[in-house]
Structure 1
Amino acid sequence: MPIGEFGGAPPLVAEGSPALTTPMYWMYEMAHASLNPARAITDATKILFQNPLNPLTHTELGKSVAAACELFERTTRRYGKPEWGIVDTEVSGIRTPVEIRSVWEKPFCRLLYFDRRMTRPLRNPQPRILIVAPMSGHYATLLRGTVEAFLPTHEVYITDWADARMVPLAEGRFDLDDYIDYLIEMLHALGGNMHVVAVCQPSVPVLAAVSVMEANRDPFVPLSMTLMGGPIDTRCNPTAVNKLAEQRGIDWFRSHVITKVPFPHPGMMRDVYPGFLQLNGFISMNLDRHMDAHKALFRNLVKGDGDLVDKHRDFYDEYLAVMDLTAEYYLQTVETVFIRHALPKGEMTHRGRPVDPSKVTRVALMTVEGENDDISGLGQTEATHRLCSSIPAHRRVHYMQPGVGHYGVFNGSRFRSEIVPRISDFMISAASSKSLLAAAAE
């Protein structure tokens, strides 16, 4: 689908969205709770009209009633964090079980490792990669397909960002500076010999983190960084998302989309950009498409087309699962990236110190863009090469994937067949050239 609303930059509010005041989140919770009796009645009705002993079950009327009940249940449900569902992969032609475990954790993020339980060691070590998932409304499971594509040929780690409403206020704030600190701490915890892959929004903090590490001559700097569909310089070929941020200004976002987490969530009274409001913005961008999809679900339920029904369920179980973002992170990101363009202008700072990508010398750079990307326009990610002017030309690569939008940059058949092999080759080349440089220095 055209992921103009799915997995991109921190989501902005669609045109016409009402002003959000503090009580609105509380009213939303009350409204959701008030639907519980209706949901219970609907569930019972659905069971009744799917019971094979009910003579109406096999009639057009019975199937329509059951289908309508499912639509009501799905449109009023609160969708929890999806499961990864990755139990195995194929490594060197051998089906290998995968164990997912946390190897590093702080209040706002866990670092997950997809441990391939191989029965015999590999002949040649495979690249170790840290995939930095977007913190832009959806959970890290949005990158399930990305992880699955890399697993056969890479050791994979991924950032699993926390839902802000689940983090107690006592744990403190989380802003863009904290995000950068988290990335640096993860790279330290992983012990070097890593490649970093940033998917969309994290391209900016990843580049900032690497720049800070290089300025400090940090020995744990990654071997390479791959930035995919990221808003490095949103002045290049600006999209509707970019223009909206500039038109509104940061004060509008602060007064219209920030509220406090209500009781009974652990993060009660934390200032957030709430998931339900983000979802409103997502859906408003393609309302007709979503309405048509649910009409098709009703028809397929009545027809009994299980494959199409399962496909719809799988997509929307992920799509409708959203999380709250801390207000300070969201506002700082919108202002820094989309309004002030601080990084490409040389005005971005981290803990009061300048972020200077020209300091990057030891890290190879690859940028990937999609030809039809309507979130991060063509040229926005490629701009990284102008900023990282000290990286030798032979250690920098840019690739534009024809025929894909934003989502296709990191998922789908073309990602698996055309983008992943190029990234893998780039990582192997980057590691080899780094070894040669180290040998020459000795």
Structure 2
Amino acid sequence: MPPFSYEMHEMAHLALAPARAMTDVARTWLESPINPFSYTAAGRNLAASAKVFERLTRRYDKPTFGFSTVAAGGKTIPIVERVVWERPFCQLLHFEKQFDTGSPEPREKLFIIAPMSGHHATLLRGTVEAFLPFYDVYITDWVDARAIPVAAGRFDLDDYIDYVMSICEVLSKDSWSGTVHTLGVCQPAVPLIAAVALMEAADSPYVPASMTLMGGPIDTRRSPTKVNLLAQERGSAWFKSNCICTVPFGYPGAGRQVYPGFLQLTGFMAMNIDRHITAHMEFFDHLVSGDGDSARKHREFYDEYRSVMDLPAEFYLQTVDTVFVKHALPNGEMTHRGVPVDLSAIRRVGLLTVEGENDDISGLGQTQAAQELCKNLPQHMKAHYQQDKVGHYGVFNGSRFRNEVVPRIRAFHRAVKTPDIGLKLVETA
């Protein structure tokens, strides 16, 4: 049993409820324009303190993507978010462009595999937004494990790979299907490349035209980070004993074994605690000074960052053991339901790897390792790009991502064509 329980976390949250209610009432009064005290320095400081306390102790709901339109081809096109594929642990969202009849050709599809690592798929909102003008975009929306009844069964890394293969097949079978490109951000890099290898080994006609792996842990022995070293040092047995909890009653998934999202968030924040403390002190100053724009940016980031989900215990533990402890993929020992995952089987799918210079989650070289492992993929079907001056988040979000990474991904995709029979690269990236 872990040294804490899910029930303890819930009790701590409930214990703070009266204090949150009181500070919220106080903040409302302190910010009221009819209260003369709200115009004083002391009033502004007290109101800012109440706001910071409320945000530090609240529970953050799952955010929404919130896209309603996209500017493409000089037009503003309405967007409708639809669920087009669904399983107990995942929904596939399609950002469907309405009345977009500008091109007689099928639009290229971009299948984004969001990480199942504690945050919701909306963490990739900026990623989706950057590609929407150019592609028909789909993304995996993983379901919070505490919301899934135990009767729905288990979910592990093998199931994750099955989901990826199933979605690739569904998107490729679409009667109005253009080229299908795939993109895995961080954790999905391993299951994505494994799924492609298994499809290639089975000579599937539904393999995607390309896969882009961004900041993913293909070989964590290269430039190991704190996260990698911790997993290697402790081993999967330690994580099972210390990090797995049971969902308490009151949730649909009561009784399910999970790796709690709040524990993952605590770990991530502890890695850069000075940065987070500074950010909240600056947020306080922005509230006091009335700098609404800067305060809004802080709220937007932390509304997303602090919104977390629970992971199925079997998926989390199998991933830790396979990827971070045994290094099964680069060692050629990874299997999927007893079948070897052989990356040398990949021959038809273009490979682009992207890394960030200052990535403290997936160190330099970890994603690039895929280039060497796909040894039978022709050299002109491979490309690697390192984005300077960005950390892990900057690999898939922010101005450098939009201005420097996205154009290179699009250029690589332009090198991939879909002829009438099969898939092949007809021009170099």
Instruction: Decide whether aligned partners of structure 1 residues 59 and 434 sit closer, same or farther in structure 2, where only a CA change above 3 A counts.
Output: farther
2:97 to 104, 116, 127: 116
What's 1:6 paired with?
none
Contact preservation (8 Å) 2:417, 2:424: no
**C-alpha distance in 1, partners of 2:409/2:418?**
14
What SS does the aligned partner of 2:360 have?
A: coil
- 1-side partners of 2:214 and 2:170: how far apart? 24
Residue 385 of structure 1, CA deviation: 1.6
Q: Distance in 2 between matches of 1:89 and 1:402?
A: 29
Partner SS for 2:126: helix
Residue 426 of structure 1 and its aligned partner are, at CA, apart by 1.2
Structure 2 counterpart of 1:271, one-letter code: Q
Instruction: Give the aligned partner of residue 298 of structure 2.
Output: 312
**Matches for 1:323-342 after TM superposition, within 5 Å:** 323-342=309-328
Secondary structure of the residue aligned to 2:211 is: strand
Q: Corresponding residue for 1:98?
A: 79
Q: 2: CA distance between counterparts of 1:437 and 1:359?
A: 15
Aligned match of 1:264 in 220, 237, 250? 250
SS of equivalent to 1:153: coil
Question: TM-score normalized by structure 2?
Answer: 0.94
CA positional deviation for 1:119: 4.5
Q: TM-score, normalised by structure 1?
A: 0.92
Tell me the secondary structure at the aligned position of residue 269 of structure 1. coil
Please name the residue that 2:13 is paired with.
32
For residues 7 and 345 of structure 2, what CA distance do their matches in structure 1 show? 47
Name which of 17, 35, 51 aligns with 1:70: 51
Matched AA of 1:114: F
Answering whether residue 184 of structure 2 is matched by residue 182 of structure 1, we say no
> Secondary structure of the equivalent of 1:400?
strand
**Which residue does 1:397 correspond to in 2?**
383
Deviation at 1:32, TM superposition (A): 1.0
Structure 2 unaligned runs (5+)?
Answer: 174-178
Q: Which is bigger in relative contact order (C-alpha 8 A, separation at least 6)?
A: 1
* Residue in structure 1 matched with residue 65 of structure 2 by the alignment: 84
* Aligned amino acid, residue 350 of structure 1: H
- Which residue number in structure 2 is paired with residue 406 of structure 1? 392
Greater mean alpha carbon deviation, residues 153-162 or residues 114-123: 114-123
Letter in 1 for 2:349: V
Distance 2:385 2:13 in 1: 45
Q: Which residue is equivalent to 2:260?
A: 274
Aligned mate of 2:150, from 169, 175, 191? 169
CA shift at 1:191, angstroms?
2.6
Residue of structure 1 equivalent to 2:201: 215
**Structure 1 residues 258, 343: CA separation in 2 closer, same or farther (over 3 Å shift)?**
same
Number of corresponding residues: 421
Distance 1:255 1:435, change over 3 A: same
Deviation at 1:57, TM superposition (A): 1.6
Structure 1 residue ranges (4+ consecutive) displaced by more than 6 angstroms after TM superposition: 433-440
Separation (CA, whole Å) in 1 of partners of 2:154 and 2:256: 9
Q: CA deviation at 1:123?
A: 5.0
2:340 equivalent to 1:354: yes
The Cα offsets for residues 300-332 of structure 1, whole Å up to 9 and x where unpaired, read as: 111111111101111110111111111111111
Kindly provide the amino acid, as one letter, of the partner of residue 2 in structure 2: L
Verify: 1:155 aligned to 2:136, yes or no.
yes
Amino acid paired to 1:188:
E
- Structure 1 unmatched ranges of 5 or more: 1-18
Distance (whole Å) between structure 2 residues aligned to residue 371 and residue 171 of structure 1: 41
Q: Are the structure 2 counterparts of residues 439 and 427 from structure 1 closer, same or farther at C-alpha, using a change threshold of 3 Å? A: closer
> Shift of residue 126 of structure 1?
3.4
CA distance in 2, matches of 1:194, 1:123: 17
Deviations 1:62-100 (A, max 9, x none): 212211111111111000111112221111111111111
Q: What is the alpha-carbon distance in structure 2 between the residues aligned to residue 439 and residue 150 of structure 1? A: 22
Q: Secondary structure at the match of 1:69?
A: helix
> How far off is 1:235 after superposition?
1.4
Aligned CA distance change for structure 1 residues 258 and 156 (closer, same or farther; 3 Å)? same
Cα distance between partner residues in 2 of 1:401 and 1:32? 40
Distance 1:424 1:433 in 2: 19
| Match of residue 20 from structure 1 | 2
Q: Counterpart of 1:317 in structure 2: which amino acid?
A: D
Q: Residues 236 and 59 of structure 1: is their aligned pair in 2 closer, same or farther, counting only changes over 3 Å? A: same
My pick for the range that moved more, 401-410 or 160-169, is 401-410
Render the CA deviation track for 1:163-198: whole Å, top value 9, x for unaligned. 111111110111000000111111122135311101
- 1:387-439 per-residue CA deviation (whole Å, 9 max, x = no partner) reads 11111111111112222222221111111111111111211211268979679
Question: Does structure 1 conserve the Cα–Cα contact (< 8 Å) formed by 2:356 and 2:387?
Answer: yes
- The question of 1:201 aligning with 2:183 is answered no
Kept in 2, the 8 Å contact 1:127–1:428? The answer is: no
1:126 corresponds in structure 2 to 107
Structure 1 Cα separation of the partners of residues 363 and 164 of structure 2: 25
